[in-house]
Amino acid sequence: MSRWWWVRHGPTHARGFAGWTDLPADLSDITRINRLALSLPSDALVVSSDLVRATATADALADGRPRLPATKALREIHFGEWEGLTFSQIEARDPETARAFWTEPGDVAPPGGESWNRMEARVSAFVDDVTRAHPGRDVLAVAHLGVILSQYRRARGVSAQEVLGKQLEPLSLSRFDLGPDGWEMVAINLTP
């Protein structure tokens, strides 16, 4: 069995959609970070998105655990021209595309951005590659809301529309295991 321990990066305090925008994380809550680190397997492989909010969070949690290179494959969904905009600004700018992106997620993409299906395929391919390369290992992956929700959708076998409204707190922990019957959700949005 392979176990993936997903941590959403620390808070950015961004008001708009960050996506591929490289914003720092607020990692000032050392007590919470230490509690989270202690709840993770001590020999887990650590991997993260290559965006600074994820790499810095992974650094704070690594605590001597073996590290895989940070990767673009675990980046948040790319919001293209919507990067940095608030939901209201996006609705005013591209009302039809915005409505379709949130109510019928799949192949609809923001202008110059990426669709849910493309993001999920990118993330799942990476997860599958790492799982094959390190069978039976615990993997601590520090990533973003959309990335973790894509694996939640995968483990639950539900539609993207069903998971898009789900919230995950910054520095929350979710776990998905791969066993003989496929992916299983073990925990979601825990805040140790």
Q: What is the CATH number of the domain that holds 98?
A: 3.40.50.1240
Residues with pLDDT less than 50, the chain: none
pLDDT at position 192 is 87
Alpha-carbon distance of 120 to 108, in angstroms, equals: 13
Task: Give me the number of domains the chain comprises.
Answer: 1
Token pair 């919230």 is found at 167
Provide the domain limits for residue 178.
Answer: 2-190
pLDDT digits (tens, 9 = 90+) for 57-87: 999 999 999 999 999 999 999 999 999 999 9
Can you read off the two tokens belonging to residue 19? 């996506």
How many angstroms separate the Cα of 31 from the Cα of each of 25, 46, 53, 192? 16, 20, 18, 10
Question: What are 27-38's pLDDT values in tens digits?
Answer: 999 999 999 999
